[in-house]
């Protein structure tokens, strides 16, 4: 279907933002050591490099020739000729991906730089124009009769290894529009969602917050939400609320427009629910997502509600305010972790699992594959961007030296390692559905946490470490399912008419008390905090992938701790599979099945055990 086709060729312009909402931090801090910058020359030497112009020319010619050779003929191709066709299409994908990866990564280094924004926008326009010639490919492919499709993919010398890609594409057949409409949507994409996404990104990056007389950017202000000084945390929260409130009409307009645009396209495609497109792209059944959601919401009382009551007691408070949610414990000693120590911590933890894992992560530090420092206009949060399978991934961080920043490093390196291993599948098969894309990242965090815990014997430090991990898991599981519920409510409400800022605020608050529990009071202004979360804008319903990944990893880690034979070998095989297998096939060697509701309870029980340990420390 064309929107997925278009998004695949242009996805590199907008890297997946993979950090959780409060996990990253960013404000200039001394004594961090030398923080690495990206070296993008592995993609192109410079924006005006002749290599880039040559690839643009090659891409344009390749699209024209591909359409000339194959349009109207796909159903007539035998197995070997279909393989040639698919591999030519894959090479076009690599070319477009390389170009847009370079433009996108330069842009995210400084989203407020008009020249970088124009460079990316111009390239996106040009590639959209060139790849319009390819819109026929998925449309025509999906019209191949089932018996002919099965025959061609079964022939000797045919494209059998690519069948998972096209099985997923053909699952979209019921929602495919006419060729003319699909071409229109493809051409219109650069002035539709992509344009609103850029407006959101540039607006968010340009926001300023007055915290006690200091003018800070969004990441620096969010970082203060984990400050030891409660007054600073409160001041940051109030500053966030004030600025979000001043910009609430713009954020509501962006949200209304994108939700309506999605609803219109879903209506034309006859999608049964707003969530259907995400489930299809994730190659996950709706009932599996609902089993996850039901398990997590049922666990709110025994996980987040229970934990935050404990935290209120530790902080000596009758009620927690929003600025206490991610506060460090009073017994936790403030500590800045320099970059060399963070690198050693994560690599040692990875090596403790397998030397191969550390070897795969090492080049990120040595070869300019990480951009870690805080810079004006730099994209907030953190992500790992795969670029294309013929190059390598890049990791973006906003590193401040807090323990959570070390965990974010472990998380994003997990993505990077996963992307490196999956690259051997080739461009079409390497891409992993979002539900599985979080596996290696969350597993990397778990390895790092367990390695640190094993070395920590002092009770107060151990308590702080476990509490930090519980909070990360609550942010990853509880918060993200609450976010998913917010999105479900928002899209259902938007179907009834335009939403005022107060309408959206009310939907946001309806999930906050339910998920966080009775330990909290919510300050005036907190109702606007939905405004800065990029997933709602860039990737509707993305957020449940975090909870899926955390539950999956908890179950995987339990199997690892139980001594499942050949676990490391099975783990690397799973990551190397990329998107070539369904989650049932990938989890079967571990004796796990995500369609079993008990699977999710097994993952949630790991969080519960950590809270049990914290409660036992109080006895």
Would you list the DSSP string of 212-264?
TTEEE-HHHHHHGGG-S-HHHHHHHHHHHHHHHHHTHHHHHHHHHHHHHHHHH
Q: What is the DSSP letter of 520?
A: B
For 211, the enclosing helix (H) or strand (E) is strand 209-211
Check: CB of residue 196 under 8 Å from CB of residue 119. Answer: no
The torsion of the CA quartet 361, 362, 363, 368, rounded to 10 degrees, works out to 100
User: Of 501, 555, 490, which Cα lies nearest the Cα of 528?
Assistant: 501
Rounded Cα gap, residues 393 and 443, in angstroms = 18
User: Of 510, 490, 488, which Cα lies nearest the Cα of 500?
Assistant: 490
- Name the strands in the sheet holding 383-385, side by side, starting at the edge strand that comes first in the sequence: 370-371, 394-396, 383-385
Give Cα separations from 372 to 178, 221, 368, 449 (angstroms).
45, 18, 10, 21
State the pLDDT at residue 311: 96
State the pLDDT at residue 29: 54
Give Cα separations from 10 to 181, 383, 459, 588 (angstroms).
19, 17, 50, 33
Give Cβ neighbours of residue 236 (< 8 Å, ≥ 6 apart). Answer: 209, 211, 221, 222, 224, 225, 227, 323
Check: CB of residue 386 under 8 Å from CB of residue 425. Answer: no
Check: CB of residue 502 under 8 Å from CB of residue 311. Answer: no
Q: What is the DSSP letter of 209?
A: E
State the pLDDT at residue 331: 82
352: number of Cβ within 10 Å: 15
- SS3 per-residue string spanning 23-47: CCCCCCCCCCCCCCCCCHHHCCCCC
State the pLDDT at residue 17: 38
Check: CB of residue 205 under 8 Å from CB of residue 377. Answer: yes
Give the chain's residues under pLDDT 50.
1-28
Check: CB of residue 216 under 8 Å from CB of residue 27. Answer: yes
Burial, 33: exposed, middle or buried (Cβ in 10 Å; 0-12, 13-18, 19+)? middle
What's the number of CA atoms in the CB half-sphere (13 Å) around residue 52? Answer: 21
Rounded Cα gap, residues 302 and 305, in angstroms = 6
State the pLDDT at residue 455: 87
State the pLDDT at residue 494: 98
Give the phi and the psi of residue 487 in degrees, each rounded to 5.
-65, -40
State the pLDDT at residue 603: 85
Put residue 239 in one of left, alpha, beta given phi > 0 → left and psi -120 to 50 → alpha: alpha
Q: Is the dihedral of CA 309, 313, 317, 322 positive or negative?
A: negative
DSSP string, 466-517: HHHHHHHHIIIIIHHHHHHHHHHHHHHHHTTS---HHHHHHHHHHHHHHHH-
The pLDDT tens digits of the residues spanning 572-583 come to: 999 999 999 988
State the pLDDT at residue 7: 39
DSSP string, 191-205: GTHHHHHHHHHHHHH
Would you tell me which CATH number, out of the four given (1.10.3470.10, 1.10.10.10, 1.20.140.70, 3.40.50.300), belongs to the domain 2-190?
1.20.140.70
Rounded Cα gap, residues 98 and 391, in angstroms = 8
Check: CB of residue 459 under 8 Å from CB of residue 536. Answer: no
What's the number of CA atoms in the CB half-sphere (13 Å) around residue 269? Answer: 24
Check: CB of residue 451 under 8 Å from CB of residue 348. Answer: yes
Give Cα separations from 87 to 66, 81, 93, 98, 168 (angstroms).
11, 10, 10, 16, 17
Query: Would you mind telling me the total number of residues written for the chain in this entry?
Result: 619
Tokens for 614, please give them.
Answer: 């914290």
Rounded Cα gap, residues 412 and 405, in angstroms = 10
State the pLDDT at residue 564: 94
Check: CB of residue 6 under 8 Å from CB of residue 120. Answer: no
Check: CB of residue 405 under 8 Å from CB of residue 399. Answer: yes
User: Of 140, 142, 97, which Cα lies nearest the Cα of 430?
Assistant: 97
The position carrying tokens 């905090």 is: 529
What residue segments make up the domains of the chain, in order of their start?
2-190
């Amino acid at each position: 279907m064309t929107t997925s086709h278009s998004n695949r060729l242009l996805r590199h312009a907008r890297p997946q933002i993979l950090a959780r909402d409060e996990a990253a931090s960013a404000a200039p801090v001394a004594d961090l050591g030398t923080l690495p910058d990206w070296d993008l020359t592995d993609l192109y030497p410079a924006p005006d490099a002749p290599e880039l112009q040559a690839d643009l020319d090659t891409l344009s010619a390749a699209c024209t020739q591909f359409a000339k050779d194959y349009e109207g003929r796909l159903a007539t191709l035998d197995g070997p000729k279909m393989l040639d066709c698919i591999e030519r299409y894959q090479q076009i994908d690599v070319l477009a991906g390389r170009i847009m990866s370079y433009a996108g990564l330069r842009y995210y280094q400084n989203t407020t730089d008009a020249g970088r924004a124009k460079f990316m926008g111009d390239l996106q326009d040009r590639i959209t124009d060139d790849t319009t010639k390819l819109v026929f490919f998925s449309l025509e492919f999906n019209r191949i009769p089932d018996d002919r499709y099965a025959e061609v993919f079964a022939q000797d010398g045919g494209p059998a290894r690519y069948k998972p890609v096209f099985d997923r594409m053909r699952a979209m057949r019921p929602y495919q529009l006419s060729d003319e409409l699909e071409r229109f949507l493809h051409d219109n994409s650069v002035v539709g969602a992509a344009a609103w996404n850029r407006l959101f990104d540039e607006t968010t990056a340009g926001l300023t917050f007055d915290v006690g007389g200091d003018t800070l950017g969004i990441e620096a202000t969010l970082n203060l939400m984990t400050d030891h000084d409660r007054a600073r945390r409160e001041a940051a929260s109030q500053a966030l609320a004030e600025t979000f409130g001043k910009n609430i009409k713009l954020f509501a307009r962006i949200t209304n427009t994108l939700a309506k645009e999605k609803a219109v396209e879903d209506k034309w495609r006859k999608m049964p629910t707003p969530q259907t497109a995400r489930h299809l792209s994730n190659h996950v059944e709706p009932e599996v997502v609902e089993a996850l959601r039901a398990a997590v919401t049922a666990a709110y009382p025994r996980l987040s509600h229970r934990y935050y009551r404990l935290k209120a007691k530790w902080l000596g408070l009758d009620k927690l305010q929003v600025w206490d949610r991610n506060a460090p414990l009073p017994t936790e000693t403030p500590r800045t972790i320099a970059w060399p120590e963070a690198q050693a911590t994560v690599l040692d933890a990875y090596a403790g699992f397998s030397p191969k894992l550390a070897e795969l992560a090492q080049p990120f530090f040595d070869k300019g594959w990480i951009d870690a420092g805080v810079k004006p206009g730099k994209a907030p949060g953190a992500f790992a961007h795969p670029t294309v399978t013929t190059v390598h991934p890049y990791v973006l961080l906003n590193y401040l030296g807090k323990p959570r920043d070390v965990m974010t490093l472990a998380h994003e390196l997990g993505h990077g390692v996963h992307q490196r291993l999956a690259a051997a599948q080739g461009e079409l098969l390497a891409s992993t559905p979002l539900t599985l894309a979080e596996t290696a990242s969350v597993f990397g965090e778990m390895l790092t946490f367990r390695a640190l815990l094993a070395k920590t014997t002092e009770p107060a430090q151990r308590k702080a470490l476990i509490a930090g991990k519980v909070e990360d898991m609550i942010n990853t599981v509880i918060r993200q399912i609450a976010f998913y519920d917010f999105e479900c409510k928002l899209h259902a409400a938007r179907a009834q008419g335009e939403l005022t800022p107060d309408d959206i605020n009310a939907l946001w608050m309806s999930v906050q008390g339910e998920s966080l529990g009775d330990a909290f009071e919510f300050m005036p202004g907190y109702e606007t905090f939905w405004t800065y979360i990029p997933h709602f804008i860039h990737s509707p319903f993305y957020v449940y992938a975090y909870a899926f990944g955390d539950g999956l990893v908890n179950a995987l880690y339990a199997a690892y701790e139980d001594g499942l034979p050949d676990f490391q070998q099975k783990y690397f095989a799973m990551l190397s599979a990329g998107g070539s297998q369904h989650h049932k096939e990938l989890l079967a060697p571990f004796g796990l099945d995500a369609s079993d509701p008990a699977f999710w309870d097994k993952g949630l029980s790991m969080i519960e055990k950590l809270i049990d340990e914290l409660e036992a420390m109080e006895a």
